[in-house]
Structure 1
Amino acid sequence: MPDPTTHSRIVDVPSGAIELRWAAATDTGRRRDSNQDALLADYPLFIVADGMGGHIGGEIASASAVERLSAVAARGSVTPEDIEDALERAVGDIADHPETTDDGTGTTVTGVYLDLSDAEPHWTTLNIGDSRVYLLRDEAIAQVTTDHSVVQELVAAGRLSPEEAEQHPYGNVITRAVGPSDGVTPDYVRLDVVDGDRFVICSDGLTKELTDYGILHFALENDDPAAAVSAMMQAALENGGRDNVTIVVLNSRVVEEAEAGAESADVAETTEPRAPSTDTD
């Protein structure tokens, strides 16, 4: 796995500015022959896609979704209509490949974007499938997205406990995906912008190997996004690396108007990778 790099950007908002810092990485893992995950980490949109449906089909599905969403990010603003239009185009791309005709072909699409369309900025998460967005706030972690999976439906119905769900034989069976036989409307969650918020966006290759507490631990131990990504990835691989692992860590800081005046909103910086802390004591 190449060392992830932390990127940064200052974004102007009516009350001042928001400083964003992020890093991302993907790894095949220890037991898979290929990597069917894909990612997008490009302001204002941060996405993880986990493909499925055979050796080639899954790679095509996730890559198609990310390619179409990259075009949305390049415009500098994002709306749900943009997301859904891009995913519909991705479905067409997937169907154009004869290798992806299997009914099981598709991809998860999960992520977050910064929405500046209203008077006050806010975050919007989106989700199709069982990749996840976590919010870290006040040194606590919360899963924002809801898995579209068989075991999650059983948990919601009270037929399984969360602990039982982790070991269930249908743990990998999802109920919604972006693919030729599925819809392309994500679930959305709107969140206020709060100073110090951090997001972890990941495929289930991470959550199979790390508990929510483990993700929180490595995030708190590593403030720099690149170091946090490296620490989580290393732990996931050491714990088995049973699937492809993809991680995006996004940090935000609200900058007051006076401080923001000294910064340029168009600046995009790259910092050198940092060595992660993996101390678990």
Structure 2
Amino acid sequence: MTAPILTASGRSTDVGARRKLNEDSHLANAPLFIVADGMGGHDAGEVASATVIEHFSALVGQDALSIAQVRDTLASAREAVGAIGQHGSAGAGTTLSGVAVATVDGLGYWLVLNIGDSRTYQFSNGELEQITVDHSYVQELIEEGEITPEQANTDPRRNIITRAIGAGSVGDADYWLFPAERGDRMLVCSDGLTTEVSDERIAEVLGSERDPQRAAEILTADAVRAGGRDNVTVVIVDALTVASVRGIHVQTDEDDDLADTRPRAAADGGMR
């Protein structure tokens, strides 16, 4: 079987200017490109994010992934992170965001997943679109019209998230499935990038730097230079070739489970 999407990728991570420990973990190997941003204090966040990445690493090397595979892996990762808390790190938890290569009737699709406030974007035809929706308190305030997205960037409550893997959260991940096209560029990042670098600058770098590794390094350096208040992780994946028929979306039973969840209600209480 030939992979439905042939990819090239780049990845970069930095502890930032203010933290002593990098609690971000990432995976950038076909067919899976994900970022996990750990939390919980001490080394609990680092262990939680690394645990999730370790579980998803078992999927590397396949041509494509199904929603069932991703959900099953997430369930096992959640159980493993929960076990960390049983050993003295009750607050251990992590976000998870990213994209997997998927297929519908042999056509190339992107399967995006998200839980927490790390993000996945699509850059296509010169336009940057945020695919995921943050599971955060300030995102709920935005949806309720109480603050603007610009105000959210400096709101003191911006670190309160409403879903995570571990940390007492039971909220599920959101999923999106949509056709890929040759030339698509997907960006996955921790919030250490998006709190420091504007969408306009992100789009500028993605549009001007063709090498995904170099683009990831530039964005990470920009975030650190802008203040680096948090760990920064950037993963970029390009679609070099895609098995597709432009404009045709083949509906499947699996698609019915992947409705866009915007707007969404919080699944459980906020956490830091």
1:226 to 182, 196, 213: 213
CA distance in 2, matches of 1:256, 1:124: 15
Q: Residue 184 and residue 84 in structure 1: after superposition, are their counterparts in 2 closer, same or farther (change >3 A)?
A: farther
Residue 57 of structure 2: aligned partner: 70
1:86 pairs with one of 57, 65, 73: 73
Preserved contact between residue 31 and residue 62 of structure 2 (Cα < 8 Å): no
Aligned amino acid, residue 211 of structure 1: S
What secondary structure sits across from 2:165 in the alignment?
A: coil
C-alpha change, 1:85 and 1:180, in structure 2 (3 Å) is farther
The answer on whether the counterparts of 1:56 and 1:99 sit within 8 Å (CA) in structure 2 is no
Q: CA RMSD in A?
A: 2.1
Q: Offset of 1:227 from its aligned partner?
A: 1.0
Map 1:66-215 to 2 at 5 A.
Answer: 66-97=53-84, 101-179=88-166, 181-183=168-170, 185-215=172-202
CA contact (8 A) 1:84 1:184 kept: no
Inter-partner Cα distance in structure 2 for 1:130 and 1:115: 23
1:89–1:246 CA distance, 2 compared to 1 (3 A): same
5+ long unaligned stretches in structure 2: 245-272
Whether the 8 Å CA contact 2:39–2:45 is kept in 1: the answer is yes
TM-score by length of 2: 0.83
1:70 deviation in Å?
A: 0.7
The match for 1:57 among 18, 35, 44 is 44
Aligned partner letter, 2:209? N
Post-superposition offset of 1:252? 1.0
Matched, 1:41 2:55: no
Q: TM-score, normalised by structure 1?
A: 0.81
**What residue is the counterpart of 1:4 in the other structure?**
none
Superposed displacement of residue 86, structure 1: 1.7
Percent identity between the two aligned chains: 39
Give, in whole Å, the separation in 1 of the partners of 2:178 and 2:243: 20
Aligned residues: 244
- Cα deviation digits, residues 26-67 of structure 1 (max 9, x gap): 111111010100001110010000000012110111011100
Deviation at 1:92, TM superposition (A): 2.5
C-alpha contact (below 8 Å) 2:40/2:167 kept by paired residues: no
* Match in the other structure for 2:239: 252
Larger radius of gyration: 1
In structure 1, list runs of 5 or more residues that go unmatched.
Answer: 1-9, 258-281
Please tell me the residue identity of whatever aligns with 2:19: R
Q: Which amino acid aligns with 1:32?
A: R
Q: Deviations over 1:127-146 (max 9, x none)?
A: 00000011001111010000
Q: Secondary structure at 2:159's aligned position in 1?
A: coil
Secondary structure class of the residue paired with 1:97? helix
> Per-residue displacement from partner, 1:169-218 (whole Å, max 9, x unpaired)?
10011000001522363101112111211011000011111011111111
Q: Would you say 1:243 and 2:230 are equivalent positions? A: yes
User: Aligned AA for 1:25?
Assistant: S
- Aligned amino acid, residue 103 of structure 2: L
